Structure 1
Amino acid sequence: MEYNIFGRTGMKVSDIGFGAWAIGGKGWGDGSSDRDAVEALNVSWEKGINLYDTCDAYGDGHSEILIGEFLKGRRETSVIVTKGGTNYRLPERSKNFNRDYLMMCLEESLRRLQTDYVDVYLLHVPDADWQDRAAVLETLKEMKQSGKVRFAGLAMWGAGDTMHALERDHDRVIDVLECPFNILNKSNLEVVKLAKERNIAVMTSQPLASGILTGKYREGARFAEGDNRRGFWSEERFEAVRPDMEIVEACTAETGLSMGHLALAYNMTYPGISCVIPGAKNAAQALDNAAATGLRLSSEIMERLSSTKGFVF
């Protein structure tokens, strides 16, 4: 496993991390269990992965419970990233970034994770209005001062709300950013560039475009009710990225890499990205993710993959 310096935090993290959304048990199709999840975690650890990215809302706390139990005895050599701000306790999920709610979320996450601190605490997609209305950067600053959070930041989707926060972060509270980034989605390109300038660590989620860039799902794929991909990956979106997928397939053939490894390598080659966090529901997926460590693409292949039009949020 190869390791990178995680921005200005100074931590060394594996270039492939473990995305723990799927092991929460909700929203990513059938065929997974806690046993599968633990096997995936074991394989990842054995292969040198030391960063585990979870959230209180993943499986309504279940992902954090699994991570906490698994990392007992491994805490000092692991990097735990978790998030708060999505109120999953309500019948209809909503956002809440008020100071008292986030402080409660942090305490509950610490209990589930069986630790007295987290390495990185991220706010889970606060839009510009919430950022200003709830003074979220002040809350993050307080969390760091408490010693229960070593480093803090934001987990975001589109670039607009992220740039809004960065423009107002005069005290440099934001140490880490997490954002979706892949061959088909470069919405956060400017975010990655600015973060590199400021030495902010960047973790990229959805490097495999929710499985699309593994080649497993193609036009005509249908996702079950409750699957997070159902609304987003419509027939129209598959059709829209068809020309891009042709470029991906050509580059796959030329490099000799699997499509999934090509996609992970694209992220790891991109300047400013410290850690790529694909998800894994079982040992086979975890093993395949870890096997991509150290892969880097030529400038020619990067240029061709960067020419894809993809989509924006």
Structure 2
Amino acid sequence: MKKRILGRTGLEVSEVAFGGVEIGLPYGIGVADKNDMLSENQAISLLHEAMANGINFFDTARMYGESEQIMGKAFGDRREEVILATKCRHFRNQQGQLLPEAELKKFITNSLKESLEALKTDYIDVFMLHQADQEILQSNLIADTFQELKQQGVIRATGASTYLASETALGIERGHWDVIQLPFNLMDQRHAVNFQEAQSQGVGLVVRSVLLKGLLSDRGKDLHPKLVEVERHIGKYQEFIAADFPDLPTLATRFALSFDTISSVLVGIDKTEYLYTALATANGKYMDRPTLVKAMEAAFPDPNFLNLPYWDKMGWLK
């Protein structure tokens, strides 16, 4: 497993990062409840297997159910061998309102304390905003609190998890955030407009949703009638399938890794077979420039339609 530098943090992270949401709570297509998940012992074994095979970058969050606790049990006695990224609790209440400024600093520090306890560590490598929207990114109080924690040494780098390309652009522009985690894949390439600026500012980029919640795999078939155009477009990627890209998940992952502006690709792993597929995919042999350009031109024509939370709400992902 090759490693890349995570922007100005100087951290060397594996090209594939272990996405920890699936080991912490029911998540993804076909996962209804805990009965469809790994047991705690199985999850710990999987984390150890990933580490033994060169993955050193593990991503989790306060909001990922038992994920932090499981990682804490897995890595508590080998903390220096892994790079841990976790995310603060959400700043908005159920009505979508941002917490009052008077409460924010304590909220952030309490969330971090909970993460430290769960992860059995006294520092976090990358402490991130979760669902960082424009208002959150524009808050000086939030940014200053994260910077104070960094100066104290309790976190090594600050980060923000964004959804919109405009949020990523603002996160880079503000200069407070060392790392940005963003969605990017064959279908939805909107964030690519920010890649060069991130690199020039030393902001490390970590990509999630590289398989579009599993749709860019064998799960992207027989979809809901409302997604017929999505399924048809996914079928078009078969023209890229060849020796270097033997299947759609490999194609999708190597597409993202073909950008030198991307430090690591998050892969949701909840089965040993998924781990070994990810390891085989990140082999250092990615797209040449002509193939990459062709793949970039093959993005879904209406990326705004690719709203998976809405699809899930509408029951289109059952």
TM over 0.5: yes
Task: Say whether the 8 Å CA contact 1:86–1:94 is kept in structure 2.
Answer: no
Task: Say whether the 8 Å CA contact 2:60–2:67 is kept in structure 1.
Answer: yes
Which amino acid letter does the alignment assign opposite residue 8 of structure 1?
R
CA distance in 2 between counterparts of 1:164 and 1:123 reads: 14
2:273 pairs with 1:289: no
SS at match of 2:138: helix
Which amino acid letter does the alignment assign opposite residue 273 of structure 1?
I
| Residue of structure 1 equivalent to 2:241 | 252
CA distance in 2 between counterparts of 1:260 and 1:129 reads: 35
Which amino acid letter does the alignment assign opposite residue 53 of structure 1?
D
Task: Say whether the 8 Å CA contact 1:268–1:275 is kept in structure 2.
Answer: yes
1:110-144 deviations in Å (ceiling 9; x for gaps): 00000000100010112112333463211111110
Q: CA deviation at 1:256?
A: 4.3
CA distance in 1 between counterparts of 2:297 and 2:162 reads: 24
**1:85 aligned to which of 83, 89, 98:** 89
Which amino acid letter does the alignment assign opposite residue 99 of structure 1?
K
**2:266 aligned to which of 277, 292, 309:** 277
Percent of matched pairs sharing the same residue: 25
Specify every segment of 5 or more residues in structure 2 that has no aligned partner in the other structure, as ranges: 308-318
Q: CA deviation at 1:239?
A: 2.5
SS at match of 1:22: coil
CA distance in 2 between counterparts of 1:93 and 1:53 reads: 25
**1:72 aligned to which of 45, 53, 76:** 76
2:253 pairs with 1:267: no
Cα distance change of structure 1 residues 197 and 91 upon mapping to structure 2, 3 Å threshold: closer
2:130 pairs with 1:121: no
Higher relative contact order (CA 8 A, sep 6+): 1
**1:214 aligned to which of 208, 211, 217:** 217
2:215 pairs with 1:240: no
SS at match of 2:194: helix
1:74-112 deviations in Å (ceiling 9; x for gaps): 211110000013269x78897658221111100100000
| Residue of structure 2 equivalent to 1:204 | 207
Q: CA deviation at 1:5?
A: 1.4
Cα distance change of structure 1 residues 95 and 80 upon mapping to structure 2, 3 Å threshold: farther
CA distance in 2 between counterparts of 1:258 and 1:242 reads: 16
Q: CA deviation at 1:158?
A: 0.6
Alignment RMSD: 2.2
Task: Say whether the 8 Å CA contact 1:32–1:282 is kept in structure 2.
Answer: no
SS at match of 2:182: strand
| Residue of structure 2 equivalent to 1:26 | 26
Provide the aligned length of Structure 1 versus Structure 2. 293
| Residue of structure 2 equivalent to 1:141 | 147
Specify every segment of 5 or more residues in structure 1 that has no aligned partner in the other structure, as ranges: 222-234
2:185 pairs with 1:182: yes
Greater Cα shift, 36-45 or 121-130: 36-45
Which amino acid letter does the alignment assign opposite residue 32 of structure 1?
M
Cα distance change of structure 1 residues 132 and 12 upon mapping to structure 2, 3 Å threshold: closer
Cα distance change of structure 1 residues 91 and 52 upon mapping to structure 2, 3 Å threshold: same
CA distance in 2 between counterparts of 1:103 and 1:191 reads: 30
| Residue of structure 1 equivalent to 2:196 | 193
CA distance in 1 between counterparts of 2:186 and 2:240 reads: 12
2:286 pairs with 1:299: no
